[in-house]
A and B are shown apart, each in its own frame.
Chain A
Amino acid sequence: MQSVKGKRHPLLRKLWKQRAFFLMLLPGLAYYVIYKYAPIVLGVATSVVKYNLRKGLAGSKLLDPWYSNFKFFFESNYFSQLLSNTLIISLSKILLTIPIALLLAILLYECHSVRLRRCVQTLTYMPHFLSWIVIYGMCFSLLSETNGLVNVLIRKLTGHTVPFFTDAHIFRGVIIWSDVWKSVGWQSIIYMAAIAGVDPNLYEAAHIDGAGRLKSIWYVTLPSIMPVVVTTLVLKCGNVLDAGFDQIFVMYNTAVRSTVDIIDTWVYRTGLEQWNISLSSAVGLFKSVISMILVILVNQLAKKWEASVW
């Protein structure tokens, strides 16, 4: 009836006006669909079928009952071992890293020599950027029973050596402490920033009240940055099922597998070594869903905590 031009739907007009933005978004959206969403959908699909390696999903039959992979996993004896290994390693890493990083941040803040502070910062942040293969090489050179620096020292002191890489229980300690070594400096950056944000008037007031430096750390610094510490703790607990695949995959061996085999390493072996695609997808999906629930819970908790502090 009337000329449509200029009278188009306001939404369409806005879309036309913003066409350049949508063109910019296009590659990213395509990437997200293919490499982030398709694996989610495929993960759900493969975990309920008997996956046919040659024909792919289309040639695979639905399992009867559809949840048999999940059932098999929960009833198998891997389940409790994998879960407890994952939780032990993950929680040990969290509970060791946070206090040590906090201590390091406080020490760096209390240090009056700028040169020493810079030096220690550079050195302690560095391991974060080294790959796990490099760190594995370092551990190997330090801890090996033949000519490992640490073991040579231990032998000189006690007369015997410690089997760091072959004793399953000691090896779990190697996994935990090498991760602490790698991440403490990096974690301390957050706490440094939190300490730098503490109101200087508080320190002055404490000083006037006769508090020494130890007391001002205890009564001013720690309470002021506690919210940040608790927030990092809570957020890390949301990722508690990620016990460090990249690290353990590189460092473990069959002799010590019993104590360091986590959900992710088991999924890798089941899927890409034994080619049981369905079962490993199901376990991966299980882990992902639990993680999602944890992360959402934990974020709510962190928000509540922050709200209750202010």
Chain B
Amino acid sequence: MVKRHSERAFDALVILLLAMAGLVCLIPMLHVIAVSLTPYDEYLRRGGMILFPTSITLDAYREFIKEPYLLECFMTTVVSTVLGTAFNILMTVLMAYPLAKTDLLGRKALNLFVLIPMLITGGLIPTYLVVRSTGLMNTILVYIIPGAIWSYVLIITRAFFTQIDKGIAESARMDGAGEWTILFRLILPISMPIIATIGLMYGVGHWNEYLSGVIYVNRPELRTLQVVLREVLSRNTEAAVDVTVPTKTLQMAGVVFTSVPIIVVYPFLQKYFTQGIMLGAIKG
């Protein structure tokens, strides 16, 4: 009887602590969304104490969309995310697939070639000089080419290809299929889980791109949304008292606007999102 009592107390404690952990993550997001939807005079009246909006307005979003170059920057971000991710996947797969072949000529040397830049990097400034001298400054390609392959992602993709049944490629080769046909017609269709996983990793990276937009680009329409949002956030709150939708609600509308794609997509694809860390962990 005593035991059952303590069991129940234990369960209650677990639930309580988990609920707290969930709330610690939920409340900041809820607060930001609520502020972005609240009319500014009400926001001031309630002194920022907002978790649920009592009256809803989209004024702050309307105002955010009026930010100069917002549409262009949105397009820049979307295009660099879509094209960039496609390019990332192509480059990573093309490199990882041969490296997973155990009988590849010079395989050891090639793997060392991939490993070295994971240990030592040129750093920010030399990378900047290289990107500048390859003529990518102030083009959308600066978001796509310099980060084409992440070594970590290459390694997990290679590990996935190593585990694929060799018999598939072998029997196709017997039938006279070329290596390119084997890769694109046979291997890729059964590799969709890893493609989805690395695609999401790269995709989130592109959507959240900030630094490249600050250092490589000075044309306003080529900034990413993150750069726009950072500028909106640093705008002085007091400077805009006469504007109808002043900055605080506008700022939070910007925060929500830039994170909506992730918040919307993530719960449905959580499995693929979380696979990335597990594949890396198993590899050690």
Contacts and interface: CB of A to CB of B under 8 A. Distances in A.
Contacts of B252: 137, 141
A232 B251 CA distance: 37
A276 to B, nearest CB: 9
B54 interface: no
A42 B130 CA distance: 8
Interface residues of B, number: 94
Interface stretch (B55-63, B66-74, B142-150, B191-199): B142-150
Given A113-B15, A138-B32, A21 B127 contact: no
Interface string A159-186: 0000000000000000000000100011
B127 A134 contact: no
Contacts of B208: 129-133
B190 interface: no
Interface stretch (A24-32, A71-79, A82-90, A218-226): A24-32
Contacts, number: 263
A119 B14 contact: no
A158 interface: no
Given A107-B18, A120-B21, A125-B273, A40 B31 contact: no
B94 A149 contact: no
A246 B211 contact: yes
B239 interface: no
Nearest to A232: B281
A180 to B, nearest CB: 10
Contacts of A212: 3, 6-7, 10
A46 B210 CA distance: 26
B123 A20 contact: no
Given A112-B11, A122-B267, A212-B6, A267 B125 contact: yes
A149 B31 contact: yes
27 contacts: A15-B105, A20-B178, A20-B180, A21-B101, A24-B180, A32-B114, A39-B130, A40-B122, A41-B122, A43-B123, A111-B14, A112-B11, A122-B267, A124-B25, A130-B262, A134-B229, A137-B32, A137-B252, A140-B251, A141-B248, A141-B252, A146-B237, A149-B31, A190-B278, A213-B7, A264-B124, A277-B125
Interface of B: 3, 6-7, 10-11, 14-15, 17-19, 21-22, 24-26, 28-29, 31-32, 35, 43-44, 47-50, 91-92, 94-95, 97-99, 101, 104-105, 110, 113-114, 117, 119-131, 133-134, 145-146, 148-149, 151, 154, 178-180, 183, 204, 207-208, 210-211, 215, 226, 229-230, 233, 237, 248, 251-252, 254-255, 258-259, 262-263, 266-267, 270, 273-274, 277-278, 281, 284
